[in-house]
Amino acid sequence: MFRKEEKKALTRLALLSIGWPAGLDRFYEGKARDGILSIIGWCLVFGSIMLLAPCPSTFQGGSGVSEMIPPNPFVIIPLAFGVVGAVLVLRKAFHLLRQFEQAGD
């Protein structure tokens, strides 16, 4: 069926696709420190987005007119880190797919 290298690449790819915020692929590779840092990093990104992002609802001002909450400009920083993290996850996924493809040769 599959060779050992192909099985290893598929397992790592499955762990990456399912558990990337928890760093499951890092723990599987034996890099516990990187897995813990991955958990901390994604918690900081998601937590800061939740804290800095404005509530989408409107509130009633003193005059009874509904006013929108202005967006917080600092939400750009965790969004940027999230985009960088997502690009790194996709890059690793493509690396694992290439590794699976080359193991068949």
* Per-domain boundaries in the chain: 4-55+67-103
Q: Which residue has the tokens 């990337």?
A: 20
In whole angstroms, what is the distance from residue 95 CA to residue 92 CA?
A: 5
pLDDT of residue 67: 61
**DSSP 3-state assignment of 53?**
coil
- Bigger pLDDT: 68 vs 29: 29
Distance set, CA 16 to CA 42, 46, 64, 73, 82 (Å): 14, 18, 50, 31, 16
Task: Please list the alpha-helical segments (H only) found in the chain.
Answer: 4-19, 24-28, 32-52, 76-103
* pLDDT over threshold 80, residue 78: yes
CB atoms inside a 10 Å sphere around CB 100: 18
Burial 45-67 (b: 16+ CB within 10 A, else e): beebeeebeeeeeeeeeeeeeee
Confidence of residue 70 (pLDDT cuts 50, 70, 90): low
pLDDT of residue 69: 65
Lowest mean per-residue pLDDT among 28-37, 46-55, 56-65, 73-82? 56-65
